[in-house]
Amino acid sequence: MPTGREEYDIVSVSLPRDLVKRANALIPKKRRSRVIANVLTAFLDSISRKRLEREYAAYYTSRSNRVAQEERDVLADWELSDEQAWAILEKEELSGRRKAG
């Protein structure tokens, strides 16, 4: 979302009349462009997330069995480290050396 002195482009779009009536009834005129920009930004972000999901899915389906097994082995090693780290943090919280949150 542009802030301060960032530039804006003026864009004209045609929308269904019922949608425009609903927007006009619900959104104050001063905030309408911000709401539209936020909705459009959220929509574009969701498209980017979906694209990334598809790319990850394609990557994981194209891996060889050897590469997949290597990744599983690394994750298994990290799991032990994660458990140890959580145990240390919980011990610190119980002893009062570290505040939770």
Looking at per-residue pLDDT, the higher value among 101 and 40 belongs to 40
Give the model's pLDDT for residue 75.
87
Give the model's pLDDT for residue 65.
93
Query: What's the pTM value of the predicted model, to 2 decimals?
Result: 0.51
Q: Please write the tens of the pLDDT for every residue from 54-79.
A: 999 999 899 999 999 999 999 888 88
Looking at per-residue pLDDT, the higher value among 8 and 19 belongs to 19
Give the model's pLDDT for residue 43.
95
Q: Which residue has the tokens 């709401």?
A: 35
Q: 47-72 burial, b for 16+ CB within 10 Å, e for fewer? A: eeeeeeeeeeeeeeeeeeeeeeeeee
